[in-house]
Structure 1
């Protein structure tokens, strides 16, 4: 059953796993309204990204985004252009689609703050050039941000924040400012859930 939590607030999910039409229909009928699919992890493009989008679209989802986990072994500009070309060629970038840059896995980043700051800045700028600033965001947590770029670095504060706090709570009351962000856009509040036959993470968002 879908419950409106508050004005302009939605429930969503994110996953790297392949959907079927039955799974997408089940998730929509369960009340989820925002789907976020993995497009890249490290050196690998997720071959299910385009099919996942299409299944979600048919099911009724109007908010469908993608996330990219980059890798430091590839050129930042080239890897973003490559994955975006696949998504654009697949006709899965509509006028609402956002792209989230995943900044959490230290194995896919450099060992020094300055290198990671430059790495993230370059990729974000490429995405902004393609989509516009309002459709590009960062996925991270306070702990991951501190390790990768330094807690206080404010280089991409103007981008939307999708933060991780797996406390099971569908609200932003736990949010503590970091990186210059004072208000999040999405919260990943639960992970590794099996719902409708799909392994997914659960998200709460303001919808604004």
Structure 2
């Protein structure tokens, strides 16, 4: 009986694992249906760019994914730090307003915290990210952080644990669909999603990064 129970639990654990993709190219409803049929249950299009503009292609991708029956459709903001860009809070608000205007929404809004044009001042970087999170939460939007050990170290410092209550989308192209090589940082002891493989031609001909949730 114990062996049977163990086998049932193991089967349930394996079946619970989910595969997902993130991407920036336009994807049609029909292609999302193909992606879903291929076994991918969540998608994360970009919805705001690092140059400070809405990603209307990504917003439409969220809408198309939901029309194809993919209910776990997230989106990510690549923050813009230049002086001409909207404020941290407005980058979030403009994104969520645009999604609403398009007649759709994201399950989770991820903030892409990786090295690109971030100032050297950890305190100001922390404040910028916190302002984005605060705006998302004020608008009742679930929000998470995309990063890894070295990006976090350079941008806000490893001693900063102020956002460890949020979900972590961990970027580590180690080719393994697991959390085995995760190195704790920022107060996180375990991620929610592992981005385990970089850009490739993925399911149904779409150029994607590969992601995994156990």
From 147, 156, 176, the counterpart of 2:183 = 176
Deviation at 1:91, TM superposition (A): 2.1
Gaps of 5+ in 2: 1-10
Corresponding residue for residue 46 of structure 2:
38
Give the secondary-structure state (helix, strand or coil) at the position aligned to 1:191.
strand
2:66 matched to which residue of 1? 57
Q: Structure 1: which 5+ runs fail to align?
A: none
Question: Is contact 2:115-2:154 (8 Å) kept?
Answer: no
Q: How many angstroms apart in 1 are the aligned matches of 2:76 and 2:36?
A: 20
Aligned to 2:44, the other structure's residue is in SS state strand
Whole-Å separation in 2 of the counterparts to 1:32 and 1:185: 16
Inter-CA distance 185–90: structure 2 relative to 1 (3 Å threshold): same
User: What residue is the counterpart of 1:26 in the other structure?
Assistant: 34
SS in 2 for 1:188: strand
Asked if the contact 1:106–1:148 (Cα under 8 Å) also holds between the matched residues in 2, the reply is: no
TM-score norm. by structure 2 comes to 0.87
RMSD: 1.7
For 1:183, what is the secondary structure of its paired residue?
A: coil
How far did residue 105 of structure 1 move? 3.0
Retained in 2: the 8 A contact 1:4–1:10? no
Cα-to-partner distance string for 1:15-54 (whole Å, 9 max, x where unaligned)? 1111023321221111000011100112121111232123
Matching residue within 74, 81, 93 for 2:105: 93
Query: Within 2, Cα distance between the matches of 1:93 and 1:130?
Result: 12
Q: Which residue of 2 aligns with 1:104?
A: 114
The question of 1:199 aligning with 2:207 is answered yes
1:138 to 142, 145, 165: 145
The CA distance in 2 between the partners of 1:39 and 1:50, in whole Å, is 5
User: What is the SS of the residue equivalent to 1:6?
Assistant: helix
Aligned residues: 199
**TM-score, with normalisation over the residues of structure 1?**
0.90
